[in-house]
Amino acid sequence: MSPLSPPNGDPGREPLDQQADAGSPGPAEPAAKGESPPPGSGDGQMGFLDHLAELRSVLIHSGLAAMAATVLCWFVSARLLDLLISPLASEGVYFTAPNEAFLVRLKISGAVGIFVVLPFILFRVYAFILPGLYAKERKVVTPLLLTTTLLFYTGVAFAFLVVIPQVITFLMSFGTSAMEPLIGVGPYFGFVSRLCLAFGLVFELPLVVLFLSVIGIVNPRILLRGWRLAVILIFTASAMLTPPDVISQVMMGVPVLILYLGSVLVSIAVTRNKRKQD
């Protein structure tokens, strides 16, 4: 018998090689089949400074894209201005300060430039947050981003092509033979831009309702049964976001109400399917 070997029948002693094997850490257990690793795990994990550098890159690229689009739009700003004042082509608009025309053309170039490159900016932001999302979260965020962009563009286009011509015609009808309109290009640009922005934001209401219903903050059936209160709130918001005329308020309230009811019906179907899966 070797002097290092334990005596036979001694259960409290183990060979040295077995003790070493018992104390050494074994290989890491593999993840469960079909389970994706958490975001940021692995050898390619980014540190805090790396995230800041990536965020800085996103901001720089977005700013450069907006500036480049603004410069390009400046060369067609005269045509953009003619398109903007087309509802007032018969009356015409005026500028009352030497630099007002230049500033308005610069504002139009910036607004249209940002409007054009907005999908690129959203794509860069989405690419920045994408590595931190699970696979099932990506399936939700991707269509959400696309739908948000589409609804915003739809609201702006509806305001500019449908609402503004009707509102301008309605408001100009209040003039008399002793009261002729003299509209400045600066206030007119502010009027149109605020109305377009309001419609673009209000058209995001269906996504807000759908999101709150899916995460369980609001009950879609209760929202559907309380449609009378929804009508009051929607038209109250329309009166606050639009000029004080009936035409613009109705033309904002009716489409938003239809979108609201449609989003509630969709959220009912989504929550019902989610309960079945649970």
Question: For 147-166, what is each residue's pLDDT tens digit?
Answer: 888 999 999 999 999 999 98
SS3 184: strand
User: Mean pLDDT of all residues in the chain?
Assistant: 80
Q: What mean pLDDT comes out for the span 189-204?
A: 91
Question: Do the beta carbons of residue 80 and residue 73 sit within 8 Å?
Answer: yes
What percent of the chain shows pLDDT beyond 90?
Answer: 27
Give the CA diameter of the chain. Answer: 125
Which structure tokens are listed for 192?
């149109």
First vs last Cα of the chain: how many Å apart? 64
Looking at the predicted structure, is the pLDDT value of residue 179 above 80? yes
pTM: 0.74
Integer Cα distance of 68 and 40 in angstroms: 34
pLDDT by residue (tens digit) across 21-51? 444 444 444 444 444 554 444 444 567 777 7
% of the chain exceeding 70 in pLDDT: 83
CA distances (Å), origin 78, targets 15, 82, 100, 194, 275: 91, 6, 14, 21, 56
pLDDT at 188: 92
CA–CA separation, 208 and 126 (whole Å): 19
* pLDDT, position 9: 47
pLDDT of residue 46: 63
pLDDT band at 117 (very low <50, low <70, confident <90, very high): very high
SS3 assignment, position 183 = strand
**Which of 224, 227, 200 shows the shortest CA–CA distance to 272?**
224
- Tens of pLDDT, residue by residue over 55-71, are 898 899 999 999 999 99
**How many other CB atoms sit within 10 Å of the CB of residue 115?**
16
Residue 79 has which token pair?
A: 């045509």
More confident residue, 271 or 232: 232
Nearest to 245 by CA among 161, 167, 158, 156: 167
Among 159, 224, 170, residue whose Cα is nearest residue 195? 159
Rounded Cα distance, 19 and 221, in Å: 65
Task: Determine contact, residues 5/15, Cβ cutoff 8 Å.
Answer: yes
